[in-house]
Amino acid sequence: MLKLQFILAISLFLCGYCRCQENDDLYYNPGDEKVKIDLKSVPKGTWKIEIQTNISKEDNYQLIGETLVINNYQIKNANKDFYSITTVPKAHEKLNSDYILNFVARDSLIFLTGTFKLNVTLDLGSVESDFSYDKIKNKGQNGSPLRESFRKMFEFALKLSDIDKMRFIYE
């Protein structure tokens, strides 16, 4: 009976591990076709996505704002002087973490970066410590808050343009 419980426990663990290792594929529709993108094709360590457009910074700024609203993001700061937009922290559906997207619009370019935070408090006796926001990078294991935050950032970039018009800045 103990062996059966042990085998069952190991099986459940491995199933959960395999679920976390699911593919890194994203799908988006640039036209009438469904295109598959493998996140592994994006360089490791990518922290900024430059999106090339053929429109003015005013139009890019408008495009970012409208796309955020359509996709249920709330805007925290929208600075018309610097053509920058920052979102309100958005919670991951299945993870105990939040992420923020940051945009800067320029003529023919949109810069996209982000930050994420674990929603965990460490209690060390009488001292409590919260995690701070860290830069989103294309790192981490599938299912991790860092990797899922990058996935959300990249998915949003695909809503603004095709991947062939993106440049990835990495460390």
pLDDT in tens, 60-117: 999 999 999 999 999 999 999 999 999 999 999 889 999 999 999 999 999 999 999 9
The pLDDT value recorded for residue 94 is: 85
In the predicted structure, residue 5 carries a pLDDT above the cut 50: no
Q: What is the mean pLDDT of the chain?
A: 83
The pLDDT value recorded for residue 13 is: 44
What residues does each domain of the chain span?
Answer: 25-170
Residues above pLDDT 90, as percent of the chain: 61
Q: Which long-range contacts (CB under 8 A, 24 or more apart) does 18-22 make?
A: 19/143, 20/141, 20/142, 20/143, 21/141, 21/142, 21/143, 22/142, 22/143
Q: Could you tell me which CATH number the domain at 25-170 has?
A: 3.30.310
Question: What is the reported pTM?
Answer: 0.78
Query: Which comes out higher in pLDDT, residue 158 or 11?
Result: 158
Measured distance CA(52)–CA(151) in Å, rounded? 19
